[in-house]
Amino acid sequence: MTAVEAKPVRESAPPHDEAASGRASKPRGKRRLGPGKPIPLGYLIGPLLLLGVWLWGSAQGWIDPRILTAPWTVVETGWDLWESGRLGPDLLVSARRFALGLAFGVLAGLVLAIVSGLSRWGEAVVDGPVQIKRSIPNLALLPLLLLWFGIDERMKIITIALGVLIPIYIHTHNGLRSIDGRYAELSETLRLRHSAFLGRVVLPGALPGFFLGMRFAVTSSWLSLVVVEQVNATSGIGYMMLLAGTYGQTDIIIVGLVLYALLGLVSDTIVRVIQRRVLSWRRTLED
């Protein structure tokens, strides 16, 4: 009787183990909570919808061309400006100012954020002046910058760099200070040297904040460029728009605005692509 009763017990045990191992080896299914699967080229849907509304409104006559030029007229005007040789040089000048201002601003913001984020004394010296600059817009500094540097390229590049410095500093500093303290305790347990701790823990941990700051920085760079190119400038997209406004050429003004919008969208997209590649080790809701 004992042997008969024990037999079903021995036979029923393996299926239970197989079921348990099956559940353990089963791949994780679709995430129920979260934004859902990534949409290929989803970042273009919003701009294309805006373009569609603009096209439809212009075609139906709902948008007065004296207020907002039709898209096909903007394309024709832009092509004429390019063929006449007016648009190319202005575009190159603006791109050069943008690149130099962004490079200097990112470098300065990174240095200040590292000094302030890794040292209490550095924070005491650096953070206050940066917060003061944060509360003063670049437009308010223009008269002083004009007195100091004149109307040449230095003033324009410095103005752009000052606009870039703030978001890089703020978000990188926040990324440095937001690193989980348990990583520091683990590094001390493993007896990591200070340089290894910086390279393996601190800097990778600050990268998400840095890339968020970069997205704000490229936008600030283009915004600052618009301002400096309309103040005592003789070249650039902003100067072209200012000259067109003097003569009431709405189509050329819209060409300049479209160029700024496209360049800003492309710059932000490049930063996002680099961010996804560099931070591929992270698992977030976006993945």
DSSP classification of residue 28: P
Q: How many whole angstroms separate alpha carbon 115 and alpha carbon 173?
A: 9
Q: What is the pLDDT of residues 30-64, one digit of tens each?
A: 566 666 677 776 777 888 898 899 889 888 888 88
Q: What is the pLDDT of residues 213-231, one digit of tens each?
A: 999 999 999 988 988 888 7
Which of 187, 15, 225 has its CA nearest to residue 101?
225
Q: Tokens 């990112």 identify what position?
A: 106
DSSP classification of residue 86: S
Distance between alpha carbon 6 and the CA centroid of its chain, in Å?
68
Question: Does pTM surpass 0.95?
Answer: no
Rg (alpha carbons) of the chain, rounded to whole number: 28
Q: Which helix (H) or strand (E) holds 113?
A: helix 87-118
Give the pLDDT score at 19. Answer: 42
Structure tokens at 286: 């976006």
- The answer for residues whose C-beta is within 8 angstroms of residue 57's C-beta and 6 or more apart is 63
Q: Which helix (H) or strand (E) holds 135?
A: none
Give the pLDDT score at 76. Answer: 92
Q: What's the rounded mean pLDDT across residues 137-164?
A: 87
Confidence of residue 11 (pLDDT cuts 50, 70, 90): very low
